[in-house]
Amino acid sequence: MKKLFLLFTFAIPSFLFAQTTGNLTVFSEDGDPFFLVLNGERQNAKPQTNIRVEELPQPYYSAKIIFADSTIATISKNLQITDFDNKMMDVTYRVKKDKNNKAKIAPYSSIEVKPDFVAPSGMYVHRWGQQGGAGGNNGTTHTTTTTNTTNTVGASVNMPGVSMNVTINDPEMTSTTTTTTTTTSHSSHSSNTTTSSNQSSGSGCNGWAMKQGDFTAAKKSISDASFEDTKLSTAKSIASNNCLSSDQVVAICNLFSFEDSKLAFAKYAYKYTVDPKNYFKVNNVFSFDSSKEELSKFTSGDE
């Protein structure tokens, strides 16, 4: 009888503290913002590139990835939150385009759930069942209008964990007006983005490279990312919302550990660079001549 009592006593903690919920992270390797829909419920009100949903109670979820860019087809797939022993896990899925430029989602990692998880900069975190995602609405229209009056230029970083605005006065600069409208329909599972701008180059480029203080903060947000792919998506998001100098592109490339990541960012950032004539400097970040040749072909339009 005493043995049975002891066995029951030791079994109680395991029963009480068994992990009953899991977490899901979905990120875009190519930096394409998207809406995440789980079992018909949208998890983010604005498109993001890196989304984490915590305290998921079910082992499987029907997911849809709806891109802000309507030219990218919506992904529909069932996602598993457990391991093979049906233990709730902290799982990560990666969204990546194949050689035909079609977006696909695939498992990236699966680890045990840790209660002390700290989200890196650039990650949007949402708790399952709480307000802040779709809010029960069938569709959301989000409109952002940015107006830079004459003699003023601005630089901004808009992403989870980073929010910076800089205003610089210059008598030679002309006014810039940008209007972005994003409309997402939950019932039709489609997303359309329309942008009109008179900016000089790039969707977020206003002709001036990021100010040093903002750039330092931006580099830190990239460095703080846990995964190489997350670093790349964060860096792309920063580049697409700002102008960069060739030297700043070099500095960001040096934050990556792999040659492929450096090359991917160097290609992506080219159209957001204020001094493309100096882009030859970026070649110095590569270890292989093949990477240098590939970037040179890309910038010259031969690729």
Q: Give dist(CA 303, CA 292) in Å, integer.
A: 13
Q: Answer whether residue 157 is part of any domain.
A: no
Q: Which two tokens stand for residue 40?
A: 């018909």
Q: Answer whether residue 106 is part of any domain.
A: yes
Domain region containing 40: 21-135
Q: Which two tokens stand for residue 70?
A: 């309507």
Q: Answer whether residue 83 is part of any domain.
A: yes
Q: What percent of the chain has pLDDT over 70?
A: 68
- Write out pLDDT tens, residues 95-136: 999 888 899 999 988 899 988 888 888 899 999 987 655 433
Tell which residue, 94, 80, 86, has the closest CA to residue 32.
Answer: 94
- Write out pLDDT tens, residues 173-206: 444 444 444 443 333 333 333 333 333 343 446 5
Mapped onto helix, strand or coil, the DSSP state of residue 71 is coil
Q: Give dist(CA 184, CA 140) in Å, integer.
A: 6
For the chain, what is the domain count?
1
Q: Answer whether residue 217 is part of any domain.
A: no
Q: What is the CATH number of the domain that holds 106?
A: 2.60.40
**Contact (CB, 8 A) for 282 and 264:** no
Q: Answer whether residue 280 is part of any domain.
A: no
**Average pLDDT of 261-275?**
93
Q: Give dist(CA 150, CA 127) in Å, integer.
A: 43
pTM, to two decimals:
0.43
95 sits in which H/E element: strand 89-97
- Helix crossing, 246-253 with 212-223: angle to 10°? 20
Q: Which two tokens stand for residue 120?
A: 């890196």
pLDDT band at 139 (very low <50, low <70, confident <90, very high): very low
Q: Answer whether residue 302 is part of any domain.
A: no
Q: Answer whether residue 39 is part of any domain.
A: yes
**Average pLDDT of 288-297?**
92
Q: Give dist(CA 105, CA 25) in Å, integer.
A: 12
Q: Give dist(CA 45, CA 23) in Å, integer.
A: 19
**Contact (CB, 8 A) for 42 and 157:** no
Mapped onto helix, strand or coil, the DSSP state of residue 225 is coil
Q: Answer whether residue 129 is part of any domain.
A: yes
Q: What percent of the chain has pLDDT over 90?
A: 50
